[in-house]
Amino acid sequence: MAQNAFDNAMAQLEKAANIMNLDTSIHTMLKQPERVLTVAIPITMDNGETQVFTGFRSQYNNTLGPYKGGIRYHWNVSLDEVKALSFWMTIKCATVNIPMGGGKGGIIVNPKELSEGELERLSRGFVQKIWRNIGSDKDIPAPDVYTTPQIMGWMRNEYESLVGHSDPGVITGKPIEDGGSEGRSFSTAQGGVYCVTALAKKQNLTPENTTIAIQGFGNAGSHMAKILHGLGYKIVAISDSKGGVYNKDGMDPHVAEKIKKEAGVLGVYCVGSVCTPSELVTEGHCKIITNEELLELEVDILVPAALENVITKENAANIKAKAIVELANGPTTPEADEILFEKGITIVPDVLANAGGVTVSYFEWDQNVKDEHWAEEDVLQKLETIMVEAFDAVWNKKEEYGVSMRTAAFVQALERIAEKIKV
Ligand code: NAD
């Protein structure tokens, strides 16, 4: 990672704290996580050899409720990244006003290199190391980059074997048949879509005249592309770790997904026929683009939905989008934030734009502890209410203080946390 995500997070905290005159003792308290676990996870690989993986769990703050946040499997995971993500979870839960604190976990691993059995042993091994510190009333993990409902199912099962009783609320993002919530699989994207719709209303945009580029075609990005396409928005560019495709006329993300499944790379329908990147021309309506080029396209809305620190002081001046909706966590560095603010580009920040995931995770936990199962339409209705209320509250704070939506969201969240600490 080019830039230290935790330094970025602390710069954002500093900025909001100064603007709102946050109590110094609360500010100081929020400069580090309450607890960090670093664990070694020895796994017997399929070839019989032992390999030791490093895992982290950062429990940042639980003022508003149990620590809550995903577990990431990625070769670039670091303690600073996990700490930053757990801080952002603290702010995120407070921004959307749900009774949860902030946590995050990660394992340094390339999951694509592991067999299913190795992945299961690694996931169970992680829980064996952290189980005393998690639980439905303590710390509730969930999926994140390269972790899946299946992995959450293994983790829940391992936790329950260790504690000796059922506790489905210990983890969210589980498969539906294992206590998961309807709508959880696409809730991050759905929450982002509610933000796009709310933003479009403020900026007088209609779906047909709004072009969108999405970086990252995983859980968050691919669902976002499909839902927005269904609402009539024009998805002109998408990408994954291998690169991207662009179609000036707009594309059907379902087709891109189908091509990716068949050909292993994203593709588009181009002049009536299917084109994969290897067949695309580099000029004209359809073309292959790099991830860097995608970020600098002339579009109405840019959606970073992959990893952090992709919009930096090096490329911020070249961003031509009118607005950015951050589905990824931490895609914009503080320096880039300043440049984009000066350029008048509205950023719907990660702590708001991708909060749909944790909100439905909270619904899942709520259903588990009450032994209920809600219909998808009920889940989505509740999600919409929370997201629209949070969007409007942040928008009003932005107007009140004359700051970016990110700083406004931080101010809103910090006010809620500070109020609870004082009680
Ligand atoms: P995912 O693993 O499902 O997908 C990640 C996508 O990013 C993949 O398409 C991958 O090919 C792509 N990618 C990886 N490296 C890339 C690179 N260098 N350039 C461009 N694309 C690259 O992960 P996800 O769950 O969709 O998470 C994506 C982002 O959204 C992360 O920042 C995550 O923290 C955030 N997020 C996810 C959720 C959720 O519920 N899944 C919730 C909140 C925030």
Q: Domain range spanning residue 298? A: 187-353
Residue nearest to atom 4 of ligand 1 (CA): 218
pLDDT digits (tens, 9 = 90+) for 309-359: 999 999 999 999 999 999 998 899 999 999 999 999 999 999 999 999 999
Classify residue 232 by its DSSP letter.
T
Residue nearest to atom 35 of ligand 1 (CA): 328
Q: Which domain-ending residue is among 329, 353, 377?
A: 353
Taking the centre of ligand 1 as the mean of its atom positions, its distance from the CA of residue 372, in whole angstroms, is 30
| Predicted local confidence at residue 286, as pLDDT | 76
pLDDT digits (tens, 9 = 90+) for 358-402: 999 999 999 999 999 999 999 999 999 999 999 999 999 999 999
Up-side HSE of residue 111: CA atoms within 13 Å toward CB? 20
| Ligand 1 pocket member 354 (CB < 6 A) | yes
- CA torsion, points 90, 185, 53, 242, in degrees to nearest 10? -110
| Predicted local confidence at residue 270, as pLDDT | 53
pLDDT higher than threshold 90 for residue 168:
yes
| Radius of gyration for the alpha carbons in the chain, expressed in angstroms and rounded | 21
Domain assignment present for 300:
yes
What is the domain count for the chain? Answer: 2
Q: Do 316 and 244 belong to one domain? A: yes
Q: Which domain-ending residue is among 353, 386, 414?
A: 353
Q: What percent of the chain has pLDDT over 90?
A: 84
| Ligand 1 pocket member 189 (CB < 6 A) | no
Residue type, 141: P
pLDDT digits (tens, 9 = 90+) for 35-77: 999 999 999 999 999 999 999 999 999 999 999 999 999 999 9
Q: Do 285 and 157 belong to one domain? A: no
| Ligand 1 pocket member 239 (CB < 6 A) | yes
Q: Which domain-ending residue is among 313, 331, 353?
A: 353
| Ligand 1 pocket member 328 (CB < 6 A) | yes
* Known active-site residue 343: no
| Predicted local confidence at residue 277, as pLDDT | 53
Cβ neighbors of 84 (< 8 A, separation 6 or more) are 4, 5, 6, 8, 9, 308, 330
| Predicted local confidence at residue 285, as pLDDT | 63
Q: Do 85 and 226 belong to one domain? A: no
The catalytic residue among 15, 68, 83, 104 is 104
pLDDT, mean of residues 84-100: 98
| Ligand 1 pocket member 291 (CB < 6 A) | yes
pLDDT digits (tens, 9 = 90+) for 111-141: 999 999 999 999 999 999 999 999 999 999 9
Judge whether 136 and 66 are in contact, CB under 8 Å: yes
pTM of the model: 0.92
Residue type, 334: P
Judge whether 364 and 179 are in contact, CB under 8 Å: yes
Q: What percent of the chain has pLDDT over 70?
A: 94
Residue nearest to atom 18 of ligand 1 (CA): 241
| Predicted local confidence at residue 282, as pLDDT | 44
pLDDT digits (tens, 9 = 90+) for 242-297: 888 888 888 889 888 887 887 777 665 554 455 555 554 444 567 888 999 999 99
pLDDT higher than threshold 70 for residue 16:
yes
**What CATH number corresponds to the domain at position 134?**
3.40.50.10860
Sequence length of the chain is: 423
